[in-house]
Amino acid sequence: MTVAQQPEALSFECETGNYHTFCPISCVAWLYQKIEDSFFLVIGTKTCGYFLQNAMGVMIFAEPRYAMAELEEGDISAQLSDYEELKRLCLQIKRDRNPSVIVWIGTCTTEIIKTDLEGLAPKLESEIGIPIVVARANGLDYAFTQGEDTVLAAMANRCPDKAPVAETEKSERNAIAKLLNFGKKKEDVAQDESEYVDHPPLVLFGSLPDPVVTQLTLELKKQGIKVSGWLPAKRFTELPVLEEGYYVAGVNPFLSRTATTLMRRRKCKLIGAPFPIGPDGTRAWIEKICSVFGITPKGLDEREAQIWAGLEDYVKLIRGKSVFFMGDNLLEISQARFLIRCGMTVHEIGIPYMDKRYQAAELALLEKTCQEMNSPLPRIVEKPDNYNQLQRIYELKPDLVITGMAHANPLEARGINTKWSVEFTFAQIHGFTNARDILELVTRPLRRNNNLKDLGWDKLVREEAKI
């Protein structure tokens, strides 16, 4: 009898060269909330406007800080002046909302008709007196979450390159310091400052909700590491200082363009760490930052063990089960690594775009996790062909498929459990304490099916599926 040999290294494939993902202009949904003094202007067709309205579910009475500049037939046939119309819209935005920055989001249409947004922006910026940042977020070139990547890469070029001379100005720029020191006396703040180890400035990049920003900042503070700033900051006027030689570390796997901009344009040093998703990833992220600064991490063993103990009620539901990632939000490698650590088998990791250099540490941790858990190495498929994937899903019969919204209902109709990948994009999944939220999402369809079995509904569902 021959025993099948497990591959000794991760295997990478690229299937179609097409993106089957949510549209990247949806990054507006979380970025306009994160950067509180911003206004986002999406320049596209009515289709883009319908998509944003549906994707974001904005209430009728809400006044979100984004708008659509809808291109008409005259604009597309190059009969009208883009500049004058954009100037009119930006002056209206300035009058009504007075933001500190206007972000122009380019779409597929602006790419196809070759609208020179980067050429128009500097002239208009000097006329209206408000910074205009141009970011391309079209679905032709970018996958779902890469919309944020293009915005942050553009904003990295706007970060100040010199720290303010006066200490008072410096503290005012650092929103993180203000957040952590809120309500404290000066003596307490001085005491806190003395807890930090002397190390080069560190800036973290990636848009996360404020509670998660605070959690990760405090986790590093426990190791004596001070975070000099975050990109993006809560306000455009508080963007972090980026001098040559500053260290930077990312918190999301889809920010490879931002990482490249920080290294090449701003001459920063990138810390290539796994991403802080799951207790294992968060620990590895902190350990890598500590090792770069020559700090011996303390208390991480106990911290990780404590979190895993609290997750056991969820982990026991998925231990021994299998999962298949169709690919949508570029979080797939990190999620798969965490689920393998939970005891799941990952058949395949579909991913729309793979930057092996930026994700090198995460890929190494994935490989190490598979070895330690005695789990087969998953197949990694970049730009997967959905038809081929469906055939593989029918053959492998995974317990769960994590997929984009387009395929969830058809798969459910065939009796396959699914979870929308977009939910992980909008959920708080970073850091030690948010690992429970990941498992809450992963186990929800399995828990639902268990409840249906208890009620005897599973037989009825199977009979309806046959019909």
Annotated binding site for [4Fe-4S] cluster: 23, 48, 108
Tell me the one-letter amino acid at 146.
Answer: Q
| Long-range interactions of 385-388: CB distance < 8 A, separation 24+ | 385/15, 385/16, 385/18, 386/20, 386/326, 388/15
Question: Alpha helix locations (H) across 342-416?
Answer: 360-372, 386-396, 405-413
Beta strand segments in 398-466, E = 400-403, 418-420
Measured distance CA(191)–CA(186) in Å, rounded:
9
Token pair for 368: 């190490």
Token pair for 4: 């099948």
Token pair for 322: 């299998």
Q: Residue 77: what are its φ and ψ, rounded to 5°?
A: -85, 10
> CA angle at residue 189 from 186 to 191, to 5 degrees?
110
Measured distance CA(89)–CA(141) in Å, rounded:
26
Measured distance CA(173)–CA(112) in Å, rounded:
39
What is the SS3 assignment for 270?
Answer: strand
Measured distance CA(19)–CA(356) in Å, rounded:
18
Token pair for 435: 């690992």
Cis peptide before 232 (omega within 30 of 0): yes
Whether the Cβ atoms of residue 136 and residue 43 lie closer than 8 Å to each other: no
Tell me the one-letter amino acid at 230.
Answer: W
What is the SS3 assignment for 293?
Answer: coil
Name the pairing type of β-strands 269-270 and 322-325: unpaired
Distance of CA 80 to the CA centre of its chain: 37
The total number of residues shown for the chain amounts to 467
Q: How many CB atoms lie within 10 A of CB 336?
A: 26
Going by the annotation, the residues of the binding site are 23, 48, 108
CA atoms within 13 A on the CB side of 311: 29
